Amino acid sequence: MTKVLPEDPKLRFGTLAVHAGPTPDPLAGAVMAPIYQTSTYVQAGLGKHKGYEYARTQNPTREALERSIAALEGGRHGFAFGSGLAALDAALKLLSAGDHVVCGENVYGGSHRQMTHIWARLGLAFTFVDTADLQRVADAVTPHTKMVYVETPTNPMMRLCDLQAAGEIASRAGALLVVDNTFATPYFQRPLELGADLVLHSTTKYLNGHSDMVGGMLVATRDDLAERLAFIQNGSGAVPGPFDCWLALRGTKTLALRMRQHDANARRIAEWLTRQPNVQHVYYPGLPLHPQHDLACRQMKGFGGMISIELGSIERATRFVERTRLFALAESLGGVESLIGHPATMTHASVPPEMRRAMGLTDGLVRLSVGIEDVEDLVADLDQALVAAG
Ligand SMILES: *Cc1c(COP(=O)(O)O)cnc(C)c1O
């Protein structure tokens, strides 16, 4: 039997990451949560079962993952989904036709696409604002506003939102504050402690961390929200399979170790990039030149592994992303391996060009997901690619 209570609030993050979630398997005492690869469960008699009836509704492997990530976020209820966008879909189903959402203008492209192309058609209204500017958030609130939805840091411009202040605006409006915490992870930022009602993750990214599954998660503290989310999770049915849950659970065990390395590598690389003549600007909240560096220091325990750089033209950006060898040209982020991407044509191609321009997402912008490799090798790779890009 486990000797620690996984939900013990005194446990530190690295300990929780290893211990929260799985209880020892009652059959054999397996240390790791088994993969319950089953669709249904035998019942001893009518209405007599062990709390498990059908695997869309309950699955022990999924529950282990949900408990683990809820504990890491300092929340009480976790809900796993088949992708980050399925988690967003479930969060927006807390609302009704006619409700209004104030959303960051610089959210993940797929989140923006789901809101504007699916939910707007079904009767939700959205106003997109720069959530780094809280006055704009407050000004966008209407009597119908039921949700404020933010990412911090944003992808790929690395702008921050003051979560405590955003939480106050949302609660004055009687709206939920929902925070996509995919970039920072709970290791560096805990939105529920700053006033958020709901935290969203693409577990595809840092939480799983090994680029081998797609998944999403919502974490809540309030019981009433949790009850409605459990209904939506089962009623809409966008649940992940047990194997993907198991992979994500295995990933979270090393989250603290990995995030320390992503952060240390990215700090070194960001600082090095500021000294390269071909790099016109470096976007990284850990740099003192970042306009919200003070907020980053207050709100985050570290700055993470994501860096964006401005190379000035699409030609130079193209040459650069095609010349790196260790940094693989690919969508996604947050895995142990370093990736490089061109937001304007890749992750943010679905964002209208005029909106991209308005937020500084130029054709010369390149995004780095710094992995956990030896940093000297990563710097050497970027160095040779910058020389080649001219
Ligand atoms: C990838 C991503 C999503 C979407 O998650 P999927 O798992 O790809 O559906 C949402 N938000 C952010 C910040 C992301 O990076």
Containing 102, the helix (H) or strand (E) segment is strand 100-104
Q: To which residue do tokens 């992979």 refer? A: 247
- Tens of pLDDT, residues 288-342: 999 999 999 999 999 999 999 999 999 999 999 999 999 999 999 999 999 999 9
H or E, element range at 104: strand 100-104
| C-alpha atoms less than 13 angstroms from C-alpha of 385 in its C-beta half-sphere | 25
Predicted pLDDT of residue 324: 98
What is the distance between the alpha carbons of residues 123 and 319, in angstroms, rounded to a whole number?
43
Q: Which of 56, 113, 260, 319 is catalytic?
A: 56
Q: Can you give the pLDDT at residue 21? A: 77
CA–centroid distance, residue 108 to ligand 1 (Å)? 7
205 is catalytic: yes
Instruction: Give the pLDDT of residue 109.
Output: 87
Q: Do domains 13-252 and 256-389 have the same CATH topology?
A: no
Is the CB of 152 inside a 6 Å radius of any atom of ligand 1? no
Question: What is the rounded distance in angstroms from the CA atom of residue 365 to the CA atom of residue 281?
Answer: 9
Q: What is the pLDDT of residue 22?
A: 67
Per DSSP, the residues of 277-345 read TT--EEE-TTSTTSTTHHHHHHH-SS--SEEEEE-SSHHHHHHHHHH-SSSEE-S---SSS-EEE-TTT
Residue closest via CA to ligand 1's atom 12 equals 108
30 residue type, one letter: A
pLDDT at 350: 78
Residue ID of nearest Cα to ligand 1 atom 6: 84
The alpha carbon of residue 231 and the mean position of all alpha carbons in its chain are separated, in whole angstroms, by 23
Strand ordering across the sheet containing 328-329: 281-283, 306-310, 365-369, 339-341, 328-329
- Could you tell me where the DSSP H helices lie in the chain? 13-19, 60-72, 84-92, 109-114, 134-140, 163-172, 185-188, 223-236, 242-252, 255-273, 293-299, 314-323, 353-358, 375-389
pLDDT at 1: 31
Q: Output the CA torsion 40→42→46→51 (10° steps).
A: -70
Residues of the chain short of pLDDT 50, as ranges, are: 1-4
Q: Which CATH class is domain 256-389?
A: alpha beta
Nearest to residue 175, comparing CAs of 202, 200, 201, 150?
Answer: 150
Neighbours of 329 (CB within 10 A): 13
State the sign of the Cα–Cα–Cα–Cα dihedral 152, 154, 160, 163.
Answer: negative
Environment class of 325 (CB within 10 Å of its CB; exposed 0-12, middle 13-18, buried 19+): exposed
Mutate to test the pocket of ligand 1, among 83, 103, 108, 158 (most ligand atoms within 8 A of CB): 108
Class in CATH terms, 13-252: alpha beta
Closest ligand 1 atom to residue 88 Cα is 10
Q: Indicate the SS3 state at residue 366.
A: strand
Catalytic residue among 89, 130, 162, 180: 180
Measured from the CB, is residue 109 less than 6 Å from ligand 1?
A: no
Helix, strand, or coil here: 148?
A: strand
Residue 2 CB-half CA count within 13 A: 19
**Of the candidates 47, 80, 52, which has an alpha carbon nearest to the alpha carbon of residue 251?**
80
Residue position matching structure tokens 């599954």: 213
3 is catalytic: no
Q: What Rg do the C-alpha atoms of the chain give, in angstroms? A: 21
Pick the closest to residue 218 from 197, 236, 234 (CA basis): 197
Cα 57 to Cα 59: distance, rounded to the nearest angstrom = 7
365, two tokens: 């912008």
Report the C-alpha gap between 26 and 11 in whole angstroms.
24
Look at residue 293 in the predicted model and tell me its pLDDT. 98
- Burial of residue 28 (CB within 10 Å: 0-12, 13-18, 19+) is exposed
Position in ligand 1 atom list of the atom nearest CA 87: 9
What was the pLDDT predicted at 334?
97
Q: Can you give the residue ranges of every domain in the chain?
A: 13-252, 256-389
